[in-house]
Chain A
Amino acid sequence: GAVVSQHPSWVICKSGTSVKIECRSLDFQATTMFWYRQFPKQSLMLMATSNEGSKATYEQGVEKDKFLINHASLTLSTLTVTSAHPEDSSFYICSARDFHSFTEAFFGQGTRLTVV
């Protein structure tokens, strides 16, 4: 299957700082990338849809000014958690859809964010 790389795999930051998470599609072009969040022992919840060259579409209840998404190229999307708080601590996962495929999306390894 296609490869999606997410970086970093884990990060610890202080409250009030910002953290950037990168999601790269390594062997295909991803016009659309998706950002999910998973709290402990819960399901993956879609946060936003990132479209190359245009603004991201956020799911209801997700603050767009807090979770900044940039999808500047067909292989890279970034999620920046701004002014992080301890309640933002979670597992963040990206997925990317192959431009030529209309079926499944492939997932990155995830990023464990801990805000202290």
Chain B
Amino acid sequence: DQQVKQNSPSLSVQEGRISILNCDYTNSMFDYFLWYKKYPAEGPTFLISISSIKDKNEDGRFTVFLNKSAKHLSLHIVPSQPGDSAVYFCAASGRGTSYGKLTFGQGTILTVHP
């Protein structure tokens, strides 16, 4: 039972354009969502997060949007850079003691072409 889903295994974008990575979840108890960037044989690096009480959070080139009614979130990267090429995971967390206990999506491989 995949509670967090990233339905696009890969995404290819031209440098300077916008990258949009999508994520859907099924568990209504999730109330905190995160995006991580990961390279092979390395641990995930935290990018940006959003609480369920918000619908948007922005940090530099990264913006995360949350649509609670649709149980959908997306990560926008603009402008995209070749250094952004990596695997992107969305993750979700519940309340209280479940914070830090993350359920991950399958990941989306982002390739940004020069």
Using a CB–CB cutoff of 8 Å, the interface residues on chain A facing chain B are: 1, 4, 6, 9-10, 32, 34, 36, 42-46, 49, 91, 93, 95-97, 102-110, 112
Contacts and interface: CB of A to CB of B under 8 A. Distances in A.
Interface residues of B, number: 21
A-B interface, 10 closest residue pairs, ranked by CB to CB distance from nearest: A97-B100, A107-B43, A105-B100, A44-B104, A43-B104, A110-B43, A43-B106, A109-B43, A107-B44, A102-B99
Contacts of A43: 89, 104-107
A107 B39 CA distance: 13
A10 B104 CA distance: 23
Interface of B: 32, 34, 36, 41-46, 49, 89, 97, 99-107
Tell me the dominant secondary structure on chain A's binding face.
strand
Contact of B44 (A93, A97, A103): A93
21 contacts: A4-B43, A32-B100, A34-B100, A36-B104, A43-B104, A44-B104, A46-B101, A49-B101, A93-B43, A95-B43, A97-B99, A97-B100, A102-B99, A104-B46, A104-B49, A105-B100, A107-B36, A107-B44, A109-B42, A110-B41, A112-B41
B32 A103 contact: yes
B40 to A, nearest CB: 9
A20 to B, nearest CB: 18
A107 B45 contact: yes
Nearest to A9: B41
Given A4-B43, A10-B41, A110-B43, 5 more contacts: A32-B100, A46-B103, A103-B99, A104-B34, A110-B41
